Amino acid sequence: MDSKMRINGGKPLMGTVEAQGAKNASLPVMAAALLLKNSSLRISRVPNLLDVNTMADLLRSLGARVLFSDHEMFISIPDEISWETPSDLVRKMRASSLVLGPLLARCGRAIMPLPGGCSIGSRPIDLHLKGLTKMGATIELVHGAVHAHTKGLSGGRIYLDFPSVGATENLMMAAVFAKGETVLENTAREPEILNLVETLRSMGAIIEADGTGVIRIQGVDSLHSAESRIIPDRIEACTYILAGAATNGEVTVTGVIPNHIDSLLAKLEEAGAQMTVTHDEVTIHPSGRLKGVSLKTLPYPGFPTDLQPQIMASLCIAQGTSVIQESVFQSRFLHVSELNKMGAKIDIQGNTAIVSGVDRLTGADVVATDLRAGAALVISGLAAGDSTYIYHLGHIRRGYEDMEEKLKSLGADVEILPAEIDGTRESQSSVCRES
């Protein structure tokens, strides 16, 4: 049975939390292990999250041995692996599609059901498939599944119409064994991409990526055992910084890489937040009410779409109006109706949310419709004057390790309770599988 979170809000958060390893770096790095043969990948600082465990199960279903304890993961890959991914696991999580490139490169074929629909907009994988086709794969859609095969991928120039994170990762992994040089242009530049590049290099791949959106890969014949370390989770870290801002508290997040979160820090500064930033810590100090600001989500280094719901929650109680434009995903505004239930004043016009700051939020029963929407409701619940109940916590657990414990360590009054079976709430369950 799903559980619900009760938050008795209205108290400033005070204290220090450590950032977890990045979910969005762990998933592609784990998928990269499939490129190995009779060798292994040891990964440190892996967060213990639902999505990470789903990827571990997916790798196991393909024949890998995966051991995971205390944030250390050991993946060992035998000589032969399966190239057919089970539909139940793929449908659970969009990021399952990250195994397509490695399987095709390693086995010459792959069968993968198309990831399902998602409540944060339609999320096709056409760029992944177009790139793989350009590298010499034959791809057919059979009963809703991708059937891909190749007699050997070859390099070439691939321009991505949009700097998709997943397509960049999939194509980079596919190109590791491709004949000759592959040049990927207009790639994503997220820090998680560079974490994958470093991992592939440590496995013996030859890749040049300098963060400019061009990645060059020289095909090699084989890879070898390696070790990798996951970077800090910039989205998780920023969620706690925003919770500090929304509660007028003093929160330090340790183990962060501040230049990964420049876009948020700049926006908070513009909104009047007082902060201290060192080489690996960010502290938000009590700053009173934030001022309304405008922002647009963009691929990195722009403002992350994965922080749009959380900053919106903090800006609901800012002085003045904020204008938030979502340009990465369609319909990533499902948190708005829930925030409005708590007394926020948000109007949606197309892909823009106009947030008129209110003096205070009030507690309500709200539903987490996806991972980051859930995080936004936690922030608004912490800021609200009374009790908030958040349903469908499963979404939050996909991306936040020990959130309730971390919040308690900051002095928050939160409790996890069993959710009653409630037809109305159950019927609001979303189908989102990715943040």
Q: Which residues are catalytic?
A: 118
d(CA 295, CA 267): 8
- How many positions of this chain bind ligand UD1 (CB under 6 A)? 24
Mask of contacts with ligand UD1, 170-189, x by CB under 6 A? ------------------x-
Binding region for ligand UD1 (CB under 6 A) out of 101-109, 165-173, 246-254, 415-423: 165-173
**Does residue 162 touch ligand UD1 according to CB under 6 A?**
yes
Q: How far is the CB of 204 from ligand UD1 (least distance, A)?
A: 24
Instruction: Give the residue with the Cβ less far from ligand UD1, 300 or 389.
Output: 300
**What is the spatial distance between Cα 51 and Cα 12, in angstroms, rounded to a whole number?**
31
Note whether 117 binds ligand UD1 by CB under 6 A: no
> Is the bond preceding residue 301 a cis peptide, omega within 30 degrees?
yes
Q: Is 326 helix (H, G, I), strand (E, B) or coil?
A: coil
Specify the residue, 13 or 256, whose C-beta has the smaller distance to ligand UD1.
256
Quote the least distance from Cβ 242 to ligand UD1, whole Å.
Answer: 16
Instruction: Provide the token pair at 115.
Output: 């990831």
The Cα–Cα gap between 187 and 168 comes to 6
- Cα of first residue to Cα of last residue in the chain, in angstroms, is 22
- For the bound state, the minimum distance from the C-beta of residue 116 to ligand UD1, rounded and expressed in Å, comes to 13
Q: Which of 4, 45, 106, 123 binds ligand UD1 (CB under 6 A)?
A: 123
User: Nearer to ligand UD1 by C-beta: 52 or 339?
Assistant: 52
For 205, what's the count of Cα atoms within 13 Å in the CB-facing half-sphere? Answer: 30
Instruction: Using DSSP bridges, classify how beta strands 138-142 and 154-159 pair: parallel, antiparallel or unpaired.
Output: unpaired
Record the tokens describing residue 33, joined without a space: 């292990």
Q: Which of 117, 124, 180, 288 binds ligand UD1 (CB under 6 A)?
A: 124
Applying the rule CB under 6 A, the residues between 54 and 113 that interact with ligand UD1 are 94-95
Binding of ligand UD1 at residue 128 (CB under 6 A)? yes
To ligand UD1, the closest distance from the beta carbon of 370 in angstroms equals: 10
Cα 377 to chain centroid distance, Å, stands at 17
List 127, 197, 223, 237, residue binding ligand UD1 (CB under 6 A): 127
Q: In the 8-state DSSP scheme, what is residue 21?
A: B
Q: Which is nearer to ligand UD1, 219 or 299 (CB)?
A: 299
C-alpha gyration radius of the chain: 21
Q: Are 404 and 363 in contact (CB under 8 A)?
A: no
316-355 positions binding ligand UD1, by CB under 6 A: 328-329
Tell me: does residue 306 bind ligand UD1 (CB under 6 A).
yes
Q: Is 434 in the site for ligand UD1 (CB under 6 A)?
A: yes
In which element (H, E) is residue 241 found? helix 234-246
Closest approach of ligand UD1 to the CB of residue 163, in Å: 7
Integer Cα distance of 356 and 312 in angstroms: 11
> What mask, x for binding ligand UD1 by CB under 6 A, covers residues 5 to 44?
-------------------x--x-----------------
Joined together, the tokens standing for residue 25 give: 């770096």
- The Cβ of residue 70 has, within 10 Å, a number of other Cβ atoms equal to 8
126 in contact with ligand UD1 (CB under 6 A): yes
**Of 121 and 156, which has the nearer Cβ to ligand UD1?**
121
Helices (H), 19-164: 23-32, 50-61, 87-92, 100-107, 126-134
| CB of residue 167 to ligand UD1, shortest distance in Å | 5
- Provide CB contacts within 8 A for 119, sequence distance 6+: 331, 334, 369, 370, 430, 431, 432
Nearest residue to ligand UD1 on Cβ basis: 166
The residue (of 127 and 344) whose beta carbon lies closer to ligand UD1 is 127
Using alpha carbons only, what angle is made at residue 136 by residues 133 and 142, rounded to the nearest 5 degrees?
50
Q: Which residues bind ligand UD1 (CB under 6 A)?
A: 24, 27, 94-95, 121, 123-128, 162, 164-167, 188, 192, 305-306, 328-329, 434-435
